[in-house]
Amino acid sequence: MMSIGIQQIGCYRPADAVNVVERGRRLGISPEFITSKLGFRKLLQRAHGEDTSDLCVKSFEDLLGRGPLNLSQLGCLAVVTQGPDGGGIPHTAAVVHRKLGLAAEMAVFDISLGCSGFVQGLSIMCALMAREGIGSGLLFTADPYSKIVDPEDRNTALLFGDAATCTLLSDRPRFEVGRCLNWTQSSTSDAIRAGIDRRLSLDGNAVYRFVARTVGRQILQCVEAHQIAREEVDFFLVHQGSRFVVDAVRQSLGVCPEKVPFLAADTGNTVSSSIPLALEMCWELPLKRVVISGFGVGLSSATLMLKGDATV
Amino acid sequence: LKTREEIRSAVLAGIAKVTNRSEVVLADHESFQHFGLDSVDRMSLLMEVEDLLGATFGDQIGPERLKCISDYIDYIQQPDSESKTADAPHA
């Protein structure tokens, strides 16, 4: 079977941003709490009129700037989002496909997942490509929560930023993608939800409990499955939900802070984009093993190992 | 069933861990918020207490109901408490 993995990542970070301390002051939340617990300085904001598919296109343009790409070899395209263009029909992936002018002979679909979506999306796309003999594919992540966050809601207004990524998957990978471990705790799925009013609500305590009790264990299972010590992993790139969420995972792993970096201070929690954005920030490093773990909406978590050739 | 002193010791040990202090002195009715614990600290404390007592609190109980040591004692000792205690802390 073909070895499919990550060849390159394109990113789009909008130029506009919300100052978190200023918004927090208006909501009566102290700068100390914002700095020490949330960890965000800025929350990236899409431009007025910029829709989810537009963010995807911008990330694709960034990908094109990173090296040659033979569009005729693309066989599949997926968009991880729960904030689609318009009412969701047609699926955002089809809108992106049209805007990019890609060939008709492609599998094009959305994946409805939140913060675990990049990891599960990798697993889905790699399996599809290996089964169907597809040499290249694109996995987009774009979930602009500014569409659904109430800026007056103290539980959500200081957390989320807009961004998008475009990951080129191919049979010539920089990182091979390992087996994915999945967990879904649907009994507490209401902890992160958007109702008919399309307003996001978040039960931070339930999510924190889920992360602290579940994610670290799953990551350690992943490491054990590869029969290596946790110290042999270069980085654990976990979903950048907030500084204290990343710290909670790190504490459950029992590794030094440098192994589990918090890299989202100037973006905010960008949902399914947070891990590929973090991976792109580490791209120039000689990495052999990176564990990625996404968790959130569902409540779900997904973890897998990326194996690099340690060359750039 | 855990005694008042066992619960009090667990909460104080939990606060010490969450705040990185070697020792904590806190009256049973003094609020955690007044002591300087923010909402994240109070949620972390709840899970520390679960670990220390080998207990699992129900999903319906959160730090907003457990505002001081006395609240922990009352909650854990009430006959219809949702907390389930085990012989050993969580792995």
Report ipTM (2 d.p.): 0.72
In order, the DSSP letters of B11-32 are HHHHHHHHHT-S-----TTS-H
Q: A208–B62: do the CB atoms touch at under 8 Å? A: no
SS3 assignment, position A246: helix
The beta-carbon neighbor of A205 closest among B38, B62, B90 is B62
CA distance A199 to A190: 13
* Contacts (Cβ under 8 Å, ≥6 apart) of A182: A120, A300, A301, A302
- The count of CB pairs under 8 A between chains A and B is 25
Its pTM stands at 0.89
Chain A from 157 to 196: CB within 8 A of any B CB: 187-188
Residues A112 and A88: beta-carbon distance below 8 Å: no
Secondary element (H or E) of residue A138: strand A136-142
| pLDDT confidence tier of residue B90, bands split at 50, 70 and 90 | very low
Q: A204–B38: do the CB atoms touch at under 8 Å? A: no
With 0-12 CB in 10 A as exposed, 13-18 as middle and 19+ as buried, what is B89?
exposed
The beta-carbon neighbor of A209 closest among B39, B47, B64 is B47
State pLDDT tens for residues A117-148. Answer: 999 999 999 999 999 999 999 999 999 999 99
pLDDT reported for residue B84? 56
Strand partners, A305: A291
Distance between A13 CA and the closest CA of chain B, angstroms:
28
State pLDDT tens for residues A212-245. Answer: 889 999 999 999 999 999 999 999 999 999 999 9
Q: Does A37 touch chain B (CB under 8 A)?
A: yes
pLDDT reported for residue A1? 59
Q: B38–A212: do the CB atoms touch at under 8 Å? A: no
With a cut of 90, say whether residue A167 has pLDDT above it. yes
